[in-house]
Amino acid sequence: MPEETQDELILKQEEDAMLTRMRRKQSRNTERRPAIDKQSAFKEFKSTEAAGEIEKEIIECRQRIKSKRGELATKTETVNAIKNEID
């Protein structure tokens, strides 16, 4: 029987801690700046240093995809030619 009361006590403490965290989070949310529209947010983001790095990475990824598609097309042609020889 004492174990159950200990478990109940621990559960109650955990619930209290969770409620406290939720209250703090809610109060932090009210301190945020007001929401802005998507276009303004995008313009603001584009002016940051991180945006330039991300854009550069996106361009590099697009170039890799383009080259991989070219490789795939070449290999597909090779495989189809071999298949036609077999048929």
What is the per-residue pLDDT for 78?
A: 96
Percent of the chain's residues with pLDDT above 70: 87
Helix (H) or strand (E) holding 83: helix 49-86
State the Cα–Cα distance between residues 30 and 70, nearest whole angstrom: 52
Distances (CA, A) of 42 to 6, 61, 71, 82: 53, 21, 35, 50
Q: How far is C-alpha 36 from the geometric centre of its chain's CA atoms?
A: 21
Residues of the chain with pLDDT under 70: 1-4, 26-32
Structure tokens at 19: 């409620």
- Sorted by where each begins, the domain ranges of the chain are 1-32, 49-87
In a 3-state reduction of DSSP, which class is residue 4? helix
pTM above 0.85, yes or no: no
